[in-house]
Chains A and B, each alone.
Chain A
Amino acid sequence: MSLALVLGGVMRNYDGEPVFGPFSHTFEAGTTSVVMGPNGSGKSTLLRICAMLEPIDAGSIRFYDRDEELNQDLVLRRRVTLVFPKTTVFRGTVFDNIAYGLRIRDADPSSIVERVEEALVSVGLSHKIRQEARTLSSGEAQRLGIARALAIEPELLLLDEPTASVDEKHTAFIEEFIMSLGKQTRTTIVMSTHDRNQAEKLTKQILVMKKGIIASNP
């Protein structure tokens, strides 16, 4: 239950100007990789392309479940998710926010409650379940964003600078959480950061990007 991702010569243009790529790399199933680089180096673009939120202008992006290549349709999209640097919460309670991904998958109500509670326990937000999501602090909101992604049990989890908008305490919590997630499940994790210490703490698979291309590869 995890996906592999193969990018070959992927390029992305804005207003006719090439800004990203050519980018070729394979993210193996069940591994944790970190993409590093300064602002504007193309980390976010890479993750958005992997999440199928952005089209590509050249090259190819392929998803594999073991040896089988998958169609890029809604079914695949629902096996992949992306957490943004600053979580946008929806109107409603913490529960409503986390349940959203399950409701649109028509999960049955009792399993929704169960999985929401599980996800909240794992990010340590159980006591906030009935709280209006908008009233959370930015650190709590970021944990909500991660719990919301976890609840749908993704097979490819993309994290775009997940600690960029939070304080030290929350940073430590999130880092630890990602480490244990990588160990416990077979989820493929691709995360971006500009913090080398953080990257080295989490994995040995570190890519460094500069101006839209890979500058160094382990």
Chain B
Amino acid sequence: MEYIYEAFAKALQLITALDNELLAIVLLSLEVSLGALCIASLAAIPLGVAIGLRSFPLRGLVLSIVNTCVGLPPVVVGLFVFLFLSRSGPLGGLGLLYTPTAMVVAQIILAFPIIVSLVQSAVSGVDPMVRLTALTLGATPQQADRVVVREAGTGIIAALVAGYGRLAAEVGAILIVGGNIAGATRVMTTTIAMEADKGNFELALALGIILLSISLMINAVLSAMQQRGMRRNL
């Protein structure tokens, strides 16, 4: 039990001291996870919307592939990206292994299927009457699609929240492709894993508390966006 108190005390102390090394680690964590989330979303939201709106041949197959990928173990994704980006791998010439870019790449792969899957279910879950109603009011099929997607807005934000949750908590993939290099690719989760390995449990737990607080703030921002989106005009 005393561990917990000490960890909270340490977390407070770390936050108030705000030393540069910790700040760099926190910023890099945010940059990698949010960056990967944004890039993944740019492709995953349109794809999820497309799958959610239309039925097409092999839709079921595409969906089960996507849903299987939701469960991809991060270490497997990490290993896969590692082998691709390694100097001896097909993309070795880019020299990306052990850089934040490599971490972003791995996290994009992790976020992509979750976002596609949840966006698709948000869109296909919209009451079919919404679409019909838009059509009776003179909407073209494309305009009707837009109404459906807008109605799915809450679900789409929820997909982003879930995607961020997976990325922020992830350690397996970014450890393999980032290497946990001090001052270069060290992020919150890899630091926590390392400090736990070293037996610095209070420090590890303190970092965990900070990570949790940041996730809490980001979720708050996203749900504020959600609220705003609800009230927003077309």
**Do A and B touch each other in the complex, judged by CB within 8 A?**
yes
Q: What total of chain B residues lie within 8 Å of the partner, measured CB to CB?
A: 22
Question: How far apart sit A107 and B140, CA to CA, in the bound complex (Å)?
Answer: 16
Chain B hits for A149, CB < 8 A: 136-137
Contact (Cβ within 8 A) B136 A92: no
Residues of chain A from 128 to 183 with CB closer than 8 A to chain B in the complex: 132, 148-149, 152
Looking at the assembled complex, report how far the CB atom of A206 sits from the nearest CB atom of chain B, in whole angstroms. 24
Whether A84 is near chain B, meaning CB under 8 Å from some CB there, is: yes
Query: Which residues on the A side are within 8 Å of B132 (C-beta)?
Result: 53, 84, 88
- Verify if B129 is at the interface (C-beta below 8 Å from A): yes
Closest to B136 in A: A82
Fill in one digit per residue for B111-130: 1 if any A CB lies within 8 Å of its CB, else 0: 00000000000000001011
Q: Report how far A58 CA is from B57 CA in the complex, Å.
A: 27
A127: Cβ under 8 A from any B Cβ? no
Complex Cα distance A74/B142, Å? 12
Residues in B neighbouring A92, C-beta threshold 8 A: 231-234
Q: Is the CB of A88 within 8 A of B127?
A: yes
Q: Which of A61-110 contact B (CB under 8 A)?
A: 74, 77-78, 81-84, 87-88, 90-93, 96, 100-101, 103-105
- Kindly list the 9 A-B residue pairs having the minimum CB-CB distance in the complex, ordered from nearest: A78-B138, A101-B137, A88-B129, A82-B136, A88-B133, A81-B136, A104-B143, A96-B233, A104-B139
A positions within 8 Å CB-CB of B = 51, 53, 74, 77-78, 81-84, 87-88, 90-93, 96, 100-101, 103-105, 132, 148-149, 152
B residues touching A (Cβ–Cβ < 8 Å)?
Answer: 127, 129-130, 132-140, 143, 147, 150-151, 153, 230-234
Starting from the known contacts A88-B133, A92-B232, 14 additional A-B residue pairs (CB-CB under 8 Å) come to A51-B136, A74-B138, A77-B138, A83-B136, A84-B129, A84-B133, A88-B129, A90-B134, A91-B151, A92-B231, A100-B137, A100-B147, A103-B234, A104-B139
